[in-house]
Amino acid sequence: MQRREFLTTGLASGLALTGLFAADAARAQSARGPSFDPVLVRTRADVAANELHVLPDAFMVYWTMPGGVAMRYRCGVGRPGLYESGEFYVGAKKEWPSWTPTPEMIERDPASYAQYADGVPGGPDNPLGARAIYLFQEGRGDTFLRIHGTNAPGTIGSAVSNGCARLINSEIIDLYERVAMRARVVLHPKANGSA
């Protein structure tokens, strides 16, 4: 298979997945209000297992599994201009990770982040929460994007982060145990094209 054919096939698969997950997410959001419990949902039988898919407009993360099913989690995502779509892989995983704001974060909002320039140790007061999955790209390495827990559960279902996807701590612990190193991660584009 040539590179162009592979990329075209991959893009078509990604768009089909987005449509499938978006329909599920719409049903979930129209139900009796948001639930923070992971939910097992059906997928097509041909959906690749052991992948993470983030749908930013629906505020959902899907972990695909064998047998045509996926585990669905509610999340928060990057605020406008900071969400980055694309294909990544899991390059690191950490329990109760430490956190240091990036230089870009400090430059954008020194009042909020400069005080943490030396980092924050892992623990309940850490913005990355109980677990973090670190997203890498070939040729780029660590992208500084994460799928992580949060000490601010009220931000789930909104676009407020510096680009990362965040889940409540109990859900990131569940997801963390499922996800293997080097697993494929797709951060799907926002519908309005702002990503």
- Helix segments in 31-168, DSSP class H: 103-108, 110-113
Q: Does the pLDDT of residue 23 top 60, yes or no?
A: no
Instruction: Look at residue 168 and tell me whether its pLDDT is greater than 50.
Output: yes
User: Which 3 state secondary structure label does DSSP give 23?
Assistant: helix
Mean pLDDT of 166-178: 96
Q: Cβ–Cβ contacts within 10 Å for residue 140, how many?
A: 9
Distance CA 66, CA 24 (A): 18
pLDDT score of 24: 55
Residue 173 pLDDT greater than 80, yes or no: yes
Distance of CA 125 to CAs 74, 95, 150, Å?
21, 14, 9
Q: Among 157, 154, 133, 156, which Cα is nearest to 145's?
A: 133
Q: What whole-number distance in Å separates Cα of residue 109 and Cα of residue 58?
A: 27
**Is 148 in the active site?**
yes
Assigned CATH for 3-187: 2.40.440.10
Contact 129, 151 (CB under 8 A): yes
62: helix, strand or coil: strand
Decide the pairing of beta strands 141-148 and 131-137. antiparallel
The reported pLDDT for the residue numbered 26 is: 52
Lowest-confidence pick of 23-27, 29-33, 107-111, 114-118? 29-33
Average pLDDT over residues 71-98: 96
Confidence band for 133, pLDDT divided at 50, 70 and 90: very high
Q: Look-up: residue for tokens 């070939």? A: 138
C-alpha span between 164 and 179 (Å, rounded)? 17
Mean of the pLDDT values across residues 123-142? Answer: 95
As a whole number, the mean pLDDT across the chain is 84
User: Quick one: pLDDT at residue 193?
Assistant: 58
Other beta carbons within 10 angstroms of residue 161's beta carbon come to 22
Percent of the chain with pLDDT over 90: 72
